[in-house]
Each structure stands twice: as C-alpha cells, then as structure tokens.
A and B are shown apart, each in its own frame.
Chain A
Amino acid sequence: MSERHETAAGDGVLAIEGLTVAIRGKEILRGVDLTLEPGRVHGLAGESGSGKTMTGLAVLGLLPHGARVAGRIALAGRDLLSLPPKQLNAVRGAEVAMVFQDPATSLHPMLTVGRQLTEHMRHHLRLSRGEARERAIDLMRKVRIPGPEEAIGRYPHQFSGGMRQRIAIAVALACAPKVLIADEPTTALDVTVQAGILRLLRGLCDDLGLAVLLVTHDLGVMSAVADEVSVMKDGLVVETGPRGQVLVEPRHAYTRALLDSLPENAGNAAAATAGAEPSEGEPA
C-alpha cells in the first residue's frame, strides 16, 4: 500500500457525518459516518437495501426527487449538503466523480466516447478542443483501451462490457477528482473481466492518490482491493475497520453472518465469487 499518503491519513479528504436520508417518510439512512482518505480504497458492504448506493448518491447530491437529507458531507472544508446547486455542480465530476454499476446504460449510446470523455473537461477545466482530445487519449491509454486515438471516435456499443467500464472509469477520472465513488463497478461484468477492473481501480488509487469509495455487496471483491471496510445494515454502519480485521475477526454479529453466508474460499479468491450472483435488477 502507499506509504507516501501515510501522513495524510487521519484527517480524510471526504468526511460523512451523521448522514440521514428519508424518502417519502421512509428512513433509508439513519446516521452514516464514513471517512475517505487519499490513496485508500474504502469498501462499503451490505445487502441490497442497506443504503450503500444511497450513501454514494448523497455525496453527489443525486438522490431521487423528494429525498430529505440531513447531516454533513465535508469535502475540503465545505459541506456539500449546504452548497448551492451551482457550486455543487462545479464539484461534481471535477472533485468527486462516480462510476456506475452497468456501463451498458451509464454511457450515452448516441455520443462518441471522445465526446463523453471531453465535455466535462472542457466545462470544468476550460480546456480547448485539442487539449481535451489529447488528454482523453491519455486517459484511454491509462485505462488500457487499445488504439486510443481511433477508439475515441467510436460509440459505446462498439466496445465490450469490460472495455466500456474502463471507459466509464476514464470519464470519471478526466478532471482529476480527489474522490471516486464506484457503485458496484464489477457487478454487471463478466467474471473474467472483473479482476482486471479491480486491479485498474487499485492501481489508479495508488498512482493518483485517489480516495475511492467502493460500494459492493460482494465481500470477495472487497477482500481483493479494499484497505478499509465498512459494513452497512438497515441504513447504519455497523462496523468499520481495516480489511484484515473486519473480514477475518469481525466484531459485529451481522458481519459474521455475512461472512458465513459466503462459500468457503471467499476470503482469498476475489473473482471466483464475484460473478456468482449478479444482482442486475435493483440497485441497492
């Protein structure tokens, strides 16, 4: 793991404190606390409906209509929840970015990959067309898309699922954000490509000093890449700690139950369990 960020650890780049979310009177989150640190992958585990995804969406202010939010989401001294829409929009994509579950639906089918890579760079960073293009090619190379010069002129449907998710990651990284929220980034993918995506995320996190919030229901994925692990249940974080501790000697009964429900070898073979139960239907 990255030693050079050791000093920064502790204060955290993004701090969620007492986050509550209610939709139509129903409490989805009941006081969530989380701290993300640069260069670290923070895994957020839990079953469907435990509020993992809502936590990720709340950071970007993308909760469904009619959701009521309270608490504090601090990013570099500002509270994102009390930011006016215009300033929040300047944070989205630029300082905090997101990768969604299914790249087949999260990339626009009618816009070229290059367009989707450059438009927010040009908006946030005020780059010229040429600069943005160059940077887009760079990004495509960084996420290991073959033939990036040619690839940026193509459309998402001309890529395979794993390649699409790599592109979606490139899109998220385009404006050099400090925080990346990855919502089940491997769930919709083929088992054979999941490990590659996770390795890519891990590498980017280390190289760029990104703070990553990895939302997943899959403890196998979790054990493969996360530094810290938080476990959620019914809108609350029931346990937080270093991966080794949470996944090997869980303190909370619920975490233990989760671990017990896994196949024997869950702890070490990440990719093996990853594709076993793709929950495509409903995002948690």
Chain B
Amino acid sequence: MSPTSAPSKDREGGAAPDSRKAVRGRAARRHPFARFLVRRIITALLLALGITLVTFILTNLVPGDPAAANLGQRAIGDPAIVAQWRADHGLDKPLPQQYLVHLSGVLHGDLGQSQQSHRPVADDLAEFVPATLELAGAAILISLILGVGFGVVAALRRDRLPDHILRVTSLFGISVPTFWLALVAFYVFFYRLQITPGSGRIDPGMTPPPHVTGLYTVDSALAGQWDVFASAAGHLVTPALVLALYTIGLLTRFTRSAVLEVLGQDYVRAARAKGLPGRVILFRYVLRPALVPVITVAGLAFGSLLSGTVLVEAIFAWPGVGQYAYKSATSLDLPAVMGVGLVVGVVYLVINLIVDVLYGVIDPRVRLS
C-alpha cells in the first residue's frame, strides 16, 4: 500500500482531461473480469477432469472383477461370454485407453450401470439429484440468512451478552454430529410432539407436482397446487434446519470477524464523519465488504452441506443423492458411488464458480483491475 507506487500518474497541475487514459479505461473495463472468469472456468474444467481420473483410478483399485459383479452366475462360468463382456466394456484394453473410453462415456452422459438398481447411473442421478438440491438449497438459504444476521449482531454487540451467547451457540452448531441431531429432531418433533411431518418429501398419498425443476416446492408453486406446496415445505423444514445448523454456526463466526474487521476500517470512520445514518453505514459501507470473505466460506460450506445430506437423508428417508450414495457405498456399487462423486464434485465446482462471479459483482476491484 505504498502511496509512492504510482508517482508518474499524478503530476500536479495535470488538470487537462486525459482523454487517452479515459478511452483505455473504458476498453479495459470489461476485459479483466472476463479474463479472470475464463481462467476460473478453465481451472474448474481441469479439476472436473481430475475428478473423472480419481473416480476411474478408485474404480480400478477395487479388488474384484467387475465382470463377475455384472454378469449373472451362469454366464460367469463361460469364458467366452466373460471375454465378450470385457471386450464390450473395453476392459481388455490398457488402462490409459480404458480411461479415455471411460471419459468419452462420461462426456456422453454414460456413467455406467448401477449394480443395485440395474439402471443407468445417470438415470438414477437425474431422479435423485433434484431432491438433494432442494434440501441443500433450502439449508444454504437458511444458513446465509441466520448466519449472516447472527454474525452482524454479534459484531455490533461485541464482548457483550448477545455476542457471548451467539459465540457459545455457534460453537454448539459446529460441534453437533449431524446424524445424531437428525435422529433427535425426528424423535422429538415427529415421534413425540408430532408437530412436524414424518419422513419423505411430501405426505404419503399425495401426488408429486408435475416435473419442471424437480424441486417439489418450486414445481407445486408453479402449478398452483398450494396443498402440495404446504406439504413439501413442511417436510423440508426440519431436515433443512438440521442440515443448516453447522453452516449457521460457521457463518456466524465468520461474519462476526469479517464485520469487526470492516468496522475498524478508515472508510467506515469517514462515513460516520459524513453524518450518514447508522443503517446506511451498516448496509452500504460495512456489510458489502464483509460479505466477500463470507461468501467464500459459504461456497466452501456448501460442500459440507452436501456431505451432511448423506447423513440427514438417511434419517429422514429423503430420496436424494445422499441416500443413493449411502446405499451404493454400503453395497459396494462402485459405478453408482463414482457417479455420485462425479456429480457432487461438479456441483461443487459450479458453486465455486458462482462464488467467483459474486466476487466480481461485490467488488469492483476484481471486476475492473
């Protein structure tokens, strides 16, 4: 931050409008951010490639013969059939070539066949992914609203009672085992108190809304089926809250320290010196820069939310990717597990890309320089 870093640009008395600089400024206005984004997208694509490589290697690490797992008892006895099957699936070729075959399959949406459901993994995922996205999406929304809100309150009431209370509760939030909390919530609110609906995405006997996005709350609202919407939303609340608790705690702690740091900045003092009302200072001057580290963490936290879905879905019988992954992993259904890994990894990359775009939206320095 040396003020002497650009002495030549600021000769005193240079009052003449420098039109050349202005034009260059306009031309450079969009490009740096575009270049930044392209770089991030390329990184993301490379990582996606890496993910396919990892899933492929892990598949090949597994002891056991995939032919044996996929062919029936009778066929396995016939070497000709086995050889034919291996040739069909490219397993007779050297590993690098097998990887290319695997990769081209992935690119064509072929993730292999699930040994459990005997359906293409891609079809299974298409069915389960929306349920998980609805759950995780609701959870991240709840976390952002509550976590950022709590964090701001804690920072503004620093070292006073609300701050201490929020500190202990947010540490509780990041310490509770999600699977256990899910069980406790299910037991207390559904089984004992009977104030929340049970497992699943909607009440039994109710027809799911017409498929548009696959998110029941959104689809039912689009179709105007408000009874279905109420049921779907009701079923969503408890698992989403359980899932969100960890992220709420995390975001509370982060928002607090981010806001505290911004509050100490010169520009906040300058804003006070301008006599702006407190609420304007908070929302315009403090929150915006504080959100930069917060969205970074929120992006990373989305990953932990996806992890959490595996545990929460198991308890609430939520028909999502988490349950699918759980069932596949315990029955060693490798194509399915790898498919899940791939999809989840890609979702995660997309989230990170969104975070990068948000950087540019929030901070003009990222966008313009």
Contacts and interface: CB of A to CB of B under 8 A. Distances in A.
A110 B14 CA distance: 26
B195 interface: no
Nearest to A107: B267
A94 to B, nearest CB: 6
Interface in B338-369: 362-365, 368-369
Interface string A144-160: 10110010001101101
Nearest to B25: A158
Interface stretch (B5-13, B42-50, B95-103, B228-236): B5-13
B22 A147 contact: yes
Nearest to A120: B274
Interface string A112-131: 10000001100110000000
Given A100-B270, A106-B270, A158-B25, A119 B280 contact: yes
A168 B273 CA distance: 12
A93 interface: yes
A109 interface: yes
B273 A155 contact: no
Interface stretch (B63-71, B120-128, B282-290, B312-320): B282-290
Contacts of B289: 108-110
Contact of B25 (A106, A154, A160): A154
* Of A90, A91, A100, most B-chain CB atoms within 10 Å: A100
B265 interface: yes
Interface string B263-299: 0011101111111110010001100110000000000
B365 A109 contact: yes
Interface string B13-56: 11111110010010000000000000000000000000000000
A97 B288 contact: no
Contacts of B265: 105
Interface size class of B (residues with CB under 8 A): 35 or more
B364 A120 contact: no
Contact of B15 (A144, A189, A195): A144
A195 B362 contact: no
A269 B56 CA distance: 74
B330 interface: no
Contact of A108 (B1, B6, B285): B285
Given A100-B270, A147-B17, A195 B369 contact: no
A161 B269 contact: no
B274 A160 contact: no
A52 interface: no
Contacts of B15: 144, 146
Contacts of B270: 98, 100, 106-108, 168, 171
B3 interface: yes
A24 B267 CA distance: 25
B276 A190 contact: no
A120 B365 CA distance: 24
Nearest to A200: B12
B364 A146 contact: no
A196 interface: yes
Nearest to A174: B274
A39 interface: no
A168 B285 CA distance: 16
A185 to B, nearest CB: 12
A220 interface: no
A189 B274 CA distance: 22
Given A104-B1, A160-B6, A171 B266 contact: no
A123 B3 contact: no
A190 B4 contact: yes
Contacts of A89: 275-277
B281 to A, nearest CB: 10
Contacts of A190: 3-4, 7, 10
A192 B22 contact: no
Contacts of A106: 266-267, 269-270
A105 B266 contact: yes
A157 B369 contact: yes
Contacts of B272: 60, 62, 92
B275 A62 contact: no
A150 B24 CA distance: 13
B4 A124 contact: no
Contacts of B276: 89, 93, 119-120, 123
Contacts of A196: 12-13
Given A100-B266, A192-B7, A62 B19 contact: no
A189 B273 CA distance: 21
A146 B273 contact: no
Contacts of A155: 364-365, 368
Given A102-B3, A155-B364, 9 more contacts: A62-B272, A62-B273, A89-B276, A100-B266, A106-B269, A147-B18, A158-B368, A160-B6, A195-B12
7 contacts: A60-B273, A105-B1, A105-B265, A109-B267, A123-B275, A146-B17, A158-B25
Interface of A: 60, 62, 89-94, 97-98, 100, 102, 104-112, 119-120, 123-124, 144, 146-147, 150, 154-155, 157-158, 160-163, 168, 171, 188-190, 192-193, 195-196, 278, 280
The 10 nearest A-B residue pairs measured at CB: A92-B275, A196-B12, A93-B275, A160-B10, A93-B274, A105-B266, A146-B17, A162-B10, A120-B274, A98-B273
